[in-house]
Structure 1
Amino acid sequence: MVVVELDLDSISHIEAPAPTAMALGYFDGVHKGHKAVIETAKAEAEKRGIQSAVMTFYPHPKEVLGKPDQPIDYLTPLQAKVARLKALGVDVVYVVNFTKAFSKLTPQAFIERFVIGLNVKHVVAGFDFTYGVKGEGKMDDIDRYANGRFTHTTVEQVSDEQEKISSTRIRKQLSEGNVSEAARLLGYPYVFSGTVVHGDARGRLIGYPTANIVAKERFIVPKTGVYVVTLTHGGNTYQGMANIGYKPTFVDDLAKPIVEVNIFDFNKEIYGETVEVAFYERIRSEQKFSGIDEIKAQLGRDRATALQFFKQHTANG
């Protein structure tokens, strides 16, 4: 897969690419709804004997056009999103630098420069995709801007029995700790990637050593609490449980929650290394305990709950 970074300047100098069928969208999370759009683009590319492409944007338009003091956290920051797109078998990913100047392009200018200019023969997008200044361009209008130079497919809303599957809905589930529901909507367990850093080693002293993880990019952190997780390091995946929280038993004033993972049957030193944590189920809320013995007893119950989860899900395939 080829990744091409574009902006308003570089698009004018790009060599004419091979023809593509291209999916357009922000695609935060690359969830089930997004996959319907991307798989349609791949099918249209195969039908025409051309390459498949995805165009995405970074940073998020809300981050550029919204309040500068409110940075956005992502289901899939850029590197994670590109990795998901690669796993889907896309040939080319265009990452467009979303700036205020870019946001002022008219719908026609966007089509001319970022669709026609990239030799796109077929466009695929969701029914609610918009383009051009203030989102004035709609999928219903795209034939007018195309003027016969490319065709398009509009993918209708992808829903479950409740409502549209959307990144906003998944973010809400994570903020409420509903990681199993988030996984159902995503089509895979929510994954948080980061670097293992030194902690205060209290877990080791009570028999539950933890890997303290700091996000490498601006991932959304699920609601505080204890979770069933797996941790992937060096190509190997290990079962474990994670605590997201402020350590109320030991500390009174942490500014941001800490992600700590107790990895089962693991005794390697991995400080400074990159790991991925996948969240499967929330066990309980974070608690404040009266002493070490009470903590150890509860952690023993949490571990048993996590192991039972893995036993059941392994048995069920």
Structure 2
Amino acid sequence: MSTTEFHGPVMESDTFDRLDLQILSALETNARASFSRIGAVLGVSDQTVARRFRRLSAEGGLRVVAVRDPELLGHDQWNLRLRCVPDTALKIAEALAKRPDTNWIALAAGGTEVLAGTRPHSPGDRDDLLLGKLPRTPSVVEIRAHQLLHRFFGGPDGWLQKFRALTDDQKAALRPEPPAPVIGPVRIDPEDEPLVDLLERDARVTYPELQRATGRSESAVKRRLAALVASGAIYLDVEYDPEILGYPLSASLWITAAPARLQSVGEAIAGHAESAYVTATSGVSNLMVSAVFKNTAGLYEYLSGPLGRLDGIQHVESVPYLRRIKQLTYPPPVR
């Protein structure tokens, strides 16, 4: 992370307010914190937290889910850019969204480009998609595949932290008790799959439900979940539509940095308020940034300001999203 002075984003929404932001931030701090615990820290009732949570879920796409961390697990990750025949991109995007190995899909470039993130479960799955299905799709006229090499920001580091909606004392009061250190490789064992599968659908599922799904005792479930999170094999993520915070415009920025400055540029961008995900990639461009903005003027100001002033950047291609088709493992809500 850059050590330069940081100016966080500002929430600007006519529908949701600062308490909503604080609840989201509380969930990012401790995804399984009870409504009563969140309410006590924020100074509101648990009924208020529950009511806001339901509204954020219904209208803002809020979901709290477990995510396998492919970087720590040593699994491949790829970002795909597919140029399609006009009027076919949406159909291709929707087909990709049904695949369990895709984690986000967006339409861009006037509706002729599909952007996709994929996490193949095996080399065979990767080859099936990149060497089999996509090349045989007649309406796909160009495929660019970029392997993700190093994450500078994102994953367990959520964008919400950049709002600084909670004090250090509030975060400390929300954090769960630290588990015992995990010794050994980061891994998800076969017997963990029922536990992780259920948490991937809802990370706030109750311990009795986890107990029934896994056949383990409640205490064993608690210990194993804590160990999986402590090892980094999974993290509990808060997913939502950034539009509810006043940031309706999302874009991918494909950046070419001088190789000797790749690390410093990636770290600097990770500290920018606009960046939600920053990774080094293979390909002609060597950095990909997922960024969010209040409007197109905000995108321009970022390109010509904080990003444009960074020493070592040689080229930037900005690709605003027209529509999100899939976010994480589910389609965003229809609004």
User: Which category of TM-score, normalised to the shorter sequence, fits these structures?
Assistant: under 0.3
Larger RCO: 1 or 2 (CA < 8 Å, sep 6+): 2
Report the structure, 1 or 2, having the larger helix content.
2
Q: Which has the larger radius of gyration?
A: 1
Q: TM-score, normalised by structure 2?
A: 0.25
Q: TM-score, normalised by structure 1?
A: 0.27
